[in-house]
Amino acid sequence: MPLFASHQAPTPDKILRVMQAFREDERPDKIDLGVGVYRTPDGKTPILRAVKTAEQRLIDGQTTKGYVGLAGDPTFHTAVRDLVLGPAVPAERIAALATPGGTGAVRQAFELVKLARPAARVWTSAPTWPNHEAILDTLAMPWRPYRYYCPETGGIDRAGLLEDLSRTETGDVVLLHGCCHNPTGADLTLDDWDAIATILNARGAVPMVDLAYQGFGQGVETDVAGLRRLVSAVPEALITVSASKNFGLYRDRVGLVLTVCDTARAATAVQGTLAWLNRQSYAFPPDHGARVVTEILGDASLRADWEAELDGMRERVVAMRLALSDALRAESGSDRFSFLQAHNGMFTLLPATSDQVATLRRDHAVYMIDDGRINLAGLTPDTVAPAARAIASVLG
């Protein structure tokens, strides 16, 4: 029998299904609120000014395309470590691994956990980015959700979250979102980060923080204030970092795993294991995007320009969030959508059923993920009103 005679493809990712359906829709007034990428008002994902400058410098000065180390360029590790963690943890306690994008970082972090503790259980927020749990399933790693989002209030279910995390056990891993929670937009406060650290220390569980949107919430430094408090209070932590959104390096696949260990000796051992993990999968990580990030973060002028443009991107998303909230208030005659204003980042979770989402696509050409997640960067000043009108009419 042929090898693939009875093979069946996995069910396509729900985000990819929405992308395909939107592409095939020929209506000129269609609105894409599904795909989680930043877009300008004209619908384009820009190349940032600092990125263009850094790339030109690399082209002019680079003398080789030889391999970097298995774990990536140490200067890239240092640049991103300092951006994310600052002085929160001594450098000698941190092992780092360059990866193909944030998804690659999540995958390698889970692989590390599985190696270190094969029976480890991973706790994920309800809801979370779908690929978190898909990767865990692929790796056959046990996981369970913890309460996070309260649909009735549009905020965090703090009591449920803390109660569930109090049931974690020694060696469990708790997956948290660093900022701009995907898909809800409802972020932890500094007090929440402190409370989580206290519980995890008491239970012997390890935090893993997925940081994909630094700079899109309140600002580059403010967005990691809670994360820094957490890692300074716990003996071990995993942080997965993506440069897709805040540097606009989607197709260059720039990611990093930062592993905080309790001792420098443990960090040295973990560093070797991380390099081994890369060797077993894709060997040497991609380097071009990583060097772009390193160039930007290492040059005061480029970094200032990057932060200024990132500020503008964040301000556009905030403006679209506020505009949609106001338009929904006008269309619905109520404050039922006012929770949007309290959220951070590109995403918000609308209280929509899958049938309502299907109706929005079919009857109004408004596309979003089946669970009601929308990307505010998909809106423009011209599409806010029709999007709000459609949402209000379908959600009631």
Hey, which residues are catalytic here? 129, 210, 212, 245
Taking Cα atoms as reference points, which of 278, 276, 249, 273 lies closest to residue 261?
A: 273
CB 146 within 8 A of CB 159: no
